[in-house]
């Protein structure tokens, strides 16, 4: 069992003891990165020989392996400047029959709770009847691809191993994440050296300002967490519903520009509940960021461009006289504008 609590304020620190190699003892120089790598590999990780602690990809693959296979309980706080902090409780366990159970709960206010049993996710939210849908993981504040499929992010982002750092007194490896085409926000990730689990995730604006932070406050790896889920009455969970996809129709427009590595994951045509207008809708994703694009007839559209930005989230809307394009997502305003400006007709008559 591995269990520890963090002092989030950072006012309390303790010294971690590290063994030294024979060469380090004989040298009067400060610890080099190579000796640090050897120390981490030999005394902390105890991983297979194939693990390369100098590779950010290896660290992210280790994170994915741990989140998929270990039983753990994690408390973390989502901090967005100017808004109240949101505390979460996240549990995962692998039962004796190889059943995977995951739970995510928002601890403030009415809150919500999501429970996943293998590939079915049950959602409990205030004001709505509970329901279940198919899903490989719970959709929470921590991006799915980062936790489970980091290899899918390589086309859109590059990862740089910064080196050892400290997060609330724990030794951690820090990784910088940057957009390959400089069209998206940047990230800093801290992974615990001992467990491989996520300790901290920061999102930064183009000018380096902090837009969002996920800070782990308590982490416990313990196979006995499975005992908590043994009390769950799985038969009482809502039955999974089948989501019917609306009839597909070829869109008449497309965006000539989208950020590198961002692809369409959903596309349909539906009617907006507020205005009643029919829009062409596309959802783009690069694994870390989702961007929604709405295209509708210019009639009744805003006469001027709309540019709204709140923290990481951006809303940009513009019309070219024929159609109105609205782009919504956690991307810089300049990127949303480039996407909207690139609209072009498909198969013009």
Q: Is the pLDDT of residue 121 over 60?
A: yes
Q: How confident is the model at residue 10, as a pLDDT? A: 35
Q: Is the pLDDT of residue 260 over 70?
A: yes
Tokens of 150: 């980091």
Three-state DSSP at 11 gives: coil
Q: Is the pLDDT of residue 300 over 70?
A: no
Give the DSSP letter string of 257-288: ---TT-EEEEEEEEE-TTT--EEEEEEEE-SS
What is the rounded CA–CA span in Å between residue 203 and residue 200? 10
Q: How confident is the model at residue 202, as a pLDDT? A: 98
Q: How many residues does the chain have?
A: 349
Q: How confident is the model at residue 287, as a pLDDT? A: 94
Q: How confident is the model at residue 199, as a pLDDT? A: 97
Mean pLDDT for all residues in the chain: 85
Q: Is the pLDDT of residue 28 over 50?
A: no
Over residues 110-124, mean pLDDT: 94
Tokens of 25: 């003892």
Contact 122, 134 (CB under 8 A): no
Over residues 223-245, mean pLDDT: 86
281-290 per-position pLDDT tens digit: 999 999 999 9
Q: Is the pLDDT of residue 113 over 60?
A: yes
Whole-model pTM: value is: 0.83
Nearest alpha carbon to residue 301 among 327, 334, 325, 335: 325
144-166 per-position pLDDT tens digit: 999 999 999 999 999 999 999 99
């Amino acid at each position: 069992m591995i269990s520890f609590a963090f002092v989030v304020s950072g006012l309390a620190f303790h010294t971690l003891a590290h063994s030294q190699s024979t060469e380090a003892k004989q040298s009067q120089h400060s610890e080099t990165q190579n000796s640090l790598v050897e120390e981490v590999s030999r005394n902390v990780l105890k991983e297979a020989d194939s693990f390369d602690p100098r590779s950010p990809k290896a660290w992210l693959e280790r994170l994915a392996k741990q989140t998929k296979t270990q039983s753990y309980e994690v408390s973390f706080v989502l901090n967005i400047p100017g808004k109240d902090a949101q505390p979460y409780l996240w549990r995962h366990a692998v039962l004796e029959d190889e059943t995977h159970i995951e739970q995510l709960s928002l601890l403030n206010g009415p809150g919500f709770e999501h429970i996943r049993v293998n590939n079915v996710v049950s959602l409990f939210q205030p004001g709505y009847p509970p329901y279940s849908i198919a899903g490989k993981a719970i959709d929470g504040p921590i991006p799915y691809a980062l936790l489970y499929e980091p290899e899918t992010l390589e086309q859109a982002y590059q990862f740089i191993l910064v080196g050892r750092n400290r997060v609330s007194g724990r030794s951690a490896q820090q990784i910088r994440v940057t957009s390959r085409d400089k069209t998206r926000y940047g990230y800093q990730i801290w992974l615990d050296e001992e467990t491989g689990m996520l300790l901290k995730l920061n999102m930064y604006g183009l000018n380096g300002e902090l837009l969002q932070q996920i800070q782990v406050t308590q982490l416990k790896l313990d196979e006995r967490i499975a005992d908590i889920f043994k009390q769950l009455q799985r038969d009482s969970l809502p039955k999974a519903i089948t989501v019917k996809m609306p009839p597909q129709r070829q869109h008449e427009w497309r965006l000539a520009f989208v950020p590198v590595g961002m692809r369409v994951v959903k596309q349909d045509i539906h009617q907006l509940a507020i205005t009643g207008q029919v829009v062409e809708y596309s959802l783009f994703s690069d694994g870390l960021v989702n961007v929604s694009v709405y295209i509708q007839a210019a009639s009744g559209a805003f006469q001027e461009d709309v540019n709204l930005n709140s923290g990481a989230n951006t809303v940009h809307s513009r019309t070219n006289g024929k159609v109105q394009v609205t782009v919504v997502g956690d991307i810089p305003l300049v990127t949303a504008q480039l996407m909207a400006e690139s609209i072009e007709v498909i198969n013009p008559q």
